[in-house]
Amino acid sequence: MATETQAPRAAAHITEPIVRDRIYIGGEWVASAGDASIEVLDSTTEQVIGTVPEGTAADVDLAVTSGHAGFEAWSQVPMGERAEACRAISAGLAQRAEELALLIACEVGMPIGQAAAIQAGLPAMDFGAAPEALEEIAWEEQVGNSLIVREPVGVVGAITPWNYPLHQICAKVAPALAAGCSIVVKPSEVTPLSAFVLAEIIDEIGLPPGAFNLVTGFGPVVGEAIAAHPDVDMVSFTGSTRAGRRVSEVAAGTVKRVALELGGKSANVVLDDADLITAVSYGVGNCFLNSGQTCSAHTRMLVPRAKLAEAEAIAAAAAEKSTIGDPLDPATRLGPLVSDAHREHVRDYIRKGEAEGAKLVAGGADAPEDLESGYFVRPTVFSEVKPDMAIAQEEIFGPVLSIIPYDDEDEAVEIANGTVYGLDGGVWSSDPEHAKSVARRMRTGQVQINGATFNPVAPFGGVKQSGNGRELGKFGLEEFLDVKSIQL
């Protein structure tokens, strides 16, 4: 499995725009049916660093038609060969890791060292883990007089977000291809450049034409066309809960399968017996990863009321250490947000928190000093946050932490479960068994105990309005399979 990546030795911002004037359909680079293009901006310099085609519904139709032909061929390829293809794609991604880290650091704003490990490293792991997941599936089993077989679902439409652009694509493409499906991918129009690198690697591997297709464009056009298309058998969507509702509505017209990985407002429960300095410091870092542009970020920190003042001081100090700046500067710990519109969205929430009466202990809505360009927001910590405040209920998607006091453990669990979301969470305690007992009471797709490491092959997904279905590992592969009973 190709998992090791290194930060680039030296990096500079992209100055010569990358022109991508073709989409990838049927194993070929073809012109879009439309003649418009989309500009891609560097989130630090605010300059155009690339252009991609503004795809159309006609492009989607062609891609789906090609996808059907690709499915007929690819689904018949032996599993061992599909596994080898995934290994080859993983190796190709690892070879281009430095290029990918720079692209995504410029687009999204994640510091380059983290981008190398996460934004470039995880996609290679997604494909590298697929062969092992194939081995864990019960492809055939006997139940009474029935033979139960698992088969690829068919043509998959993948609609992906901007915050972890390539990982969110590969977390869908790798298991779909491993399962024997064909796929049509629509990357985010905000951060699409890394998707073209993946398409180039797949093109070099030489999959059957139509097994993988890439159509860039806007959600209301390309995304809706994918979700509505009668010949798309399944849609896998990652993005906001609002957009996920729309995908479900459109897909319902043809009763296709829909997998959704949506928003979150995850609670980090610090129990009374936890190491407060470690728990709070780690919790701030978790909340601020990728400048808070992470669906699973622990944006609500629940602490015992008696320890609130101490937690505030620790969190404020941690926020102060979150050096803001150019993501290509090794000293930077917090880069910009992805766009001007998103920056204003996050600042509006900071203002709303102050207006609601939350206590501002670090940061604020004012622009950071000494940064002439870039979509920066100061790392912000609120305390004395009430559970019903907007900043405690709604996904902000920026470096904004809400510290919420509680009086007893039952209240902590009630607060943790008291949002429409259920994607992630954390529990901190000096007694791991005690922490696990609390974790079991939390209605969420995953929980980290005492800052446990993210597992890239464990099932990832949410409950309630954080979505349905799971990604990664064996469980992610199963999403792309149908179950058939053959009576004997």
Return the active site residues: 261, 295
Closest CA to 20 of 101, 102, 109, 103: 103
17, 38 Cβ separation under 8 angstroms = no
- CA separation for the pair 206, 248 (Å, rounded): 33
Angle between helices 165-179 and 79-95 (to 10 degrees): 160
443, 145 Cβ separation under 8 angstroms = no
Q: Say how many residues make up the chain.
A: 488
Strand order in the sheet with 212-214: 28-30, 23-25, 212-214, 182-186, 155-159, 234-238, 257-261, 467-468
- CA separation for the pair 403, 370 (Å, rounded): 29
- CA separation for the pair 325, 47 (Å, rounded): 16
Cβ-Cβ contacts under 8 Å for 320 (sequence gap 6 or more): 362
Q: Which H helix or E strand runs over 440?
A: helix 432-441
Cβ-Cβ contacts under 8 Å for 63 (sequence gap 6 or more): 23, 25, 26, 184, 213, 215
- CA separation for the pair 371, 23 (Å, rounded): 36
What is the distance between the terminal CA atoms of the chain, rounded to a whole angstrom? 40
